[in-house]
């Protein structure tokens, strides 16, 4: 059976994060030093990546954007807000908003829309289309 994750420091991590952890500590990344091999499905406590048979996830970001002189928006800064199932990116707009509200994200009714920039699914607010949230599906491997 293939090793899908490693448990160390009371957490479970994907093989890549476990290897990075071992290198950071100056150790050789092998199964005896980086933790106890596990054979389960789940999500990495460091990067949120899915391992085993767990459904993939993507990061959700809150966006701080500035208005540009030509009327568009430029992302000034974004903040990591957590991970959501990647399957949310394939949902119709209303279903997506309903699921995000269940996760305690504020999505004003009737005032938001969804845009796809090829890397993020961006939730925009109002007629000015100000970006407020983004689902970063482009970073999923």
> Number of structural domains, the chain?
2
Supply the pTM of this predicted model.
0.68
Let me know: does 134 contact 120? Beta carbons within 8 Å: yes
User: In this predicted model, what pLDDT tens digit does every residue of 111-129 receive, in sequence order?
Assistant: 888 988 888 899 998 888 8
Q: Which of 137, 55, 133, 131 is nearest to 89 (CA)?
A: 137
User: In this predicted model, what pLDDT tens digit does every residue of 39-76 receive, in sequence order?
Assistant: 666 777 777 777 677 778 888 999 999 999 998 888 88
Strand ranges (E), 3-141: 5-8, 11-13, 36-38, 42-43, 50-51, 57-67, 73-85, 112-116, 121-125, 130-136
* Residue numbers of the domain that contains 20: 5-51
Among 51, 67, 85, the domain-final residue is 51
Does residue 67 sit in the same domain as residue 20? Answer: no
Q: Phi, psi at residue 23, to the nearest 5°?
A: -65, -40
């Amino acid at each position: 059976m293939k090793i899908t994750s490693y448990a160390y420091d009371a957490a479970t991590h994907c093989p890549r994060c476990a290897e990075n952890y071992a290198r950071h500590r100056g150790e050789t990344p092998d199964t005896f030093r980086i933790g106890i091999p596990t054979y389960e499905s789940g999500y990495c406590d460091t990067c949120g990546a899915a391992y085993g048979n767990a459904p993939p996830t993507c990061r959700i970001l809150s966006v701080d954007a500035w208005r540009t002189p030509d009327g568009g928006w430029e992302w000034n800064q974004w903040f990591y807000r957590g991970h959501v199932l990647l399957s949310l990116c394939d949902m119709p707009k209303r279903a997506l908003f309903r699921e995000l509200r269940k996760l305690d994200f504020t999505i004003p009714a009737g005032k938001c829309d969804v845009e796809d920039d090829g890397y993020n699914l961006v939730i925009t607010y109002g007629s000015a289309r100000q970006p407020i949230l983004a689902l970063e599906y482009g970073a999923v491997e």
